[in-house]
Amino acid sequence: MNTGIPKNVTNGFTLIELLVVIVLIGLLASIGLTTVGSGNQGRALNNEVNRLHAVLRMASEEAIYSNSEIGIRFESDAYSFLVYDEEESSWVDAPQRFLRSHTFPEWLVVEWRREDEFRLPDQSSSSDSSGKIDEEDSKEPDLVMLSSGEITPFVIGFSLDNDSDSLLEIKTDEQGDIILPHVLEQNS
């Protein structure tokens, strides 16, 4: 009995059709990852700026509440906080957990400047009898937050390693407040 339907016809996809679909999905996934990947550094840059801004504001408030002088020291790839020890007349590492040192990501470019030099009264470098300055005692902060609420005027700029248009800043304004100018511009 002949039903008129050939026996070799199957319902399904050929190997070529499956390979084409897999290649198209791979291309779309790679385009999607490339697009999302470039935004990750921008978001991470914004997060680093917001993190340092928040920590600087907390350090400024801590200086007032604890009646101590707090300094921040910048290195090429990190920053750390110091507290002025009046008994020793020197800067020591900050004991507060939120003031621990932080390392910047390798793709982040950080530049900072201050408007004036600052020294505490009676501050001098410690030296031994040979006149050499002791490394541990000679820690000097780059920026200082005083217990009176005053802050060394500064500007800290952050940008991506390969993108000069990505500059974000933290700075002090005329009243001595620590601000994010790019956020103020967005809000106005």
Give residue-wise pLDDT tens across range 7-44. 666 677 888 888 888 988 888 888 876 655 556 888 88
> Does some domain include residue 82?
yes
Give residue-wise pLDDT tens across range 152-181. 899 998 988 877 788 899 999 888 899 998
**Residue 72: which CATH number?**
3.55.40.10
Can you give the pLDDT at residue 36? 59
**Residues 6 or more apart from 152 whose CB is under 8 A from it?**
114, 115, 116, 118, 143, 144, 145, 172
> Does some domain include residue 31?
no
> Does some domain include residue 4?
no
Q: Which of these, 48, 49, 55, 103, lies nearest to 76 by C-alpha position?
A: 103
> Does some domain include residue 1?
no
Can you give the pLDDT at residue 62? 93
> Does some domain include residue 129?
no
> Does some domain include residue 28?
no
Two tokens, residue 33: 């990852």
> Does some domain include residue 91?
yes
Please count the CA atoms within 13 angstroms of the CA of 54 that sit on its side-chain side.
7
> Does some domain include residue 26?
no
Question: What is the tally of structural domains in the chain?
Answer: 1
Averaged pLDDT score across all residues of the chain = 81
**Residues 6 or more apart from 178 whose CB is under 8 A from it?**
53, 56, 57, 60, 151, 170, 171, 172
Tell me the residue range of the domain where 50 lies: 43-124+134-187
Q: Confidence band (pLDDT; 50, 70, 90) for 129? A: very low
